[in-house]
Amino acid sequence: MASLKVAVITGASSGIGRHSAIKLSSEGWSLALTARRLAQLEETRSLCANPDACLLVAGEITDEAFVKSLFEETVKKFGRLDLLFNNAGLSDKARPIEEMPLEMFTSVVNVNLIGSFLCTREAFKIYKQQEPTGGRIINNGSLAAHVPRPHSVAYATSKHAVHGLTKTIAIEGRKHNISVTQIDIGNAHTSMAAGHTLGALQPDGRRVVEPTFDPIHVADAVAHIASLPTSVTVLEMNIMATGAPYVGRG
């Protein structure tokens, strides 16, 4: 019988998180799914191949106590952890930096960076203590981690910081058999990117209708990386719509 594989997916109530949950479930993974909206998490679970192997834990990943309980409940139910997909993300409408409220800037950074940090810290504790040791972390980056869009100071800053988190924990995790990946996604057709099909602001001031692609392909990529032995690392992966401009570089 195949060994149990266990994943925590944040932001699992919709979009890439939901598609990744469905894909991993179809490949036999047991899942701890988290997001703020319980009703949408229940819908994600209903779409999975094995709903009985899906633990739902609704809450805020920016809440330290909640994140600790999420990982405690995961290990209590499934006995171990093999994958953390730091997928939860928050964006904001495009606006010049002088119009960016501190509250919104902080909210974006808290979800995209602090939430990923809190989840990563708890995963590291488990990976170092369990037998066999080790596991995998996949961070949902963005093209914005490398080439920001105009008027995206909060989102781009947070994703650049996630890039630093990825590289740092990859170094820390090596000797503990912890493999780390950042998957940088460009224009997957989720609610966050759907507006690009109506015209996205470019660095030269034009608005250009940009192509998108089905997020199921991101889920396939996540599942492939998750299937690799932890002795193999895909440090960075870019997946984007073929016709999308590589924003910031023309």
Q: Which two tokens stand for residue 199?
A: 């015209």
pLDDT digits (tens, 9 = 90+) for 226-250: 999 999 999 999 998 887 776 444 3
**Can you give the pLDDT at residue 249?**
42
Residue 146 confidence (pLDDT) = 83
Return d(Cα 130, Cα 79) in angstroms, integer: 9
Distance of alpha carbon 177 from alpha carbon 101, whole angstroms: 41
Q: Determine whether 127 is an active site residue.
A: no
Q: Are strands 207-208 and 200-201 parallel, antiparallel or unpaired?
A: antiparallel
* Residue 1 pLDDT: 35
pLDDT of res. 149: 78
What's the confidence (pLDDT) of residue 186?
85
Q: Which residues does the chain have with pLDDT short of 70? A: 1-3, 190-199, 202-205, 246-250
Catalytic residue among 71, 85, 124, 155: 155
Q: Report pLDDT for 250.
A: 39
User: What is the DSSP annotation of the chain?
Assistant: -PPP-EEEEESTTSHHHHHHHHHHHHTT-EEEEEES-HHHHHHHHHHSS-GGGEEEEES-TT-HHHHHHHHHHHHHHHS---EEEE----------GGG--HHHHHHHHIIIIIHHHHHHHHHHHHHHHSSS--EEEEEE--GGGTSPPTT-HHHHHHHHHHHHHHHHHHHHHGGGTEEEEEEEEE-BSSTTTGGGGG-EE-TTS-EE----B-THHHHHHHHHHHHS-TTS---EEEEE-TTS--TT--
Tokens of 172: 């820390």
Encode pLDDT of 80-129 as tens digits. 999 999 999 998 888 899 999 999 999 999 999 999 999 999 999 999 99
pLDDT at 196: 55
Q: Check: CB of residue 61 under 8 Å from CB of residue 67.
A: yes
* Residue 14, CA distances (Å) to 75, 76, 119, 129, 180 in order: 24, 25, 19, 32, 23
Whats the size of the chain, residue-wise?
250
What's the rounded Cα separation, in Å, for the pair 124 and 40?
28
Q: With b meaning 16 or more CB within 10 Å and e meaning fewer, what string describes 48-67? A: beeeebbbbbbebbbeeeeb
What is the rounded distance in angstroms from the CA atom of residue 208 to the CA atom of residue 244? 10
